[in-house]
Amino acid sequence: MNFVAIDFETATSCWTSICSMGICVVEDNKIIERRELLVKPAPFEFNKYNVRIHGITADMVHDMPTFDIYWSSIKPYLQNKLVIAHNTSFDINVLRTTLDYYGITYPSFDYLCTVKLSQKAYPDFPSHKLNVLCDMLGVEFSHHHAAEDAYACAKVMLHILKDFNLNDTQEIESRFGVSTSCIYPGAQLREPKHKEKVYPKTLLA
């Protein structure tokens, strides 16, 4: 199965304040690429709470490109792909809101949430936070670093595919009732109830 796992870290509670993006590419159930981009956030502000989580400071990204500058290299990872994230309600909304901020047309791709999927696959696990899942599955990673979180998300997906002998999203939906959603040019952004709060990611990611 082919898919791309993504993860965002933000500088503040603003959805557009991406300071890091992690990308992990899987082809034929094998991880072939892991990448992290440090991003100058918009607005250029940092919240102490967020810094404590991911360790990225203003000095580390002051001279880095903003997300719109990176976009031409990011889009090919997403366009017409299956994209997964651990808590898509965070990562997909961050992506869409940031694209809106820069006036960038949405790409087209399907996406799947590994929080929802892991809850169905492993209902007896004590938690479905990414670090707990990985502890239970024997996956080692450094939590709240975007490239590491994307890698961990990919590994969770690969474990589920192997443990339940699944080959595609149709089989995933048939087995667990978890279906993909999609994003495409002109799609309407569904506003989250608390769009200025990104803290819930830490509860599930």
Using 70 as the pLDDT threshold, list the residues of the chain that sit under it: 189-205
CATH number reported for the structural domain that contains residue 121 in this entry: 3.30.420.10
Q: How many domains does the chain have?
A: 1
CA distances from 196 to 10, 15, 94, 200 (A): 12, 7, 11, 11
Domain span including residue 85:
3-189
Tell me how many degrees the CA angle 67-72-75 measures, rounded to the nearest 5.
Answer: 90
Establish if 183 belongs to a structural domain: yes
Establish if 195 belongs to a structural domain: no
Establish if 194 belongs to a structural domain: no
Q: Are 125 and 182 in contact (CB under 8 A)?
A: no
How many Å apart are CA 101 and CA 198, to the nearest integer? 17
Provide the strand spans (E) within 47-195: 82-85, 109-113, 181-183
Establish if 12 belongs to a structural domain: yes
Q: What pLDDT is attached to residue 27?
A: 98
Establish if 203 belongs to a structural domain: no
Q: pTM of the full predicted structure? A: 0.92
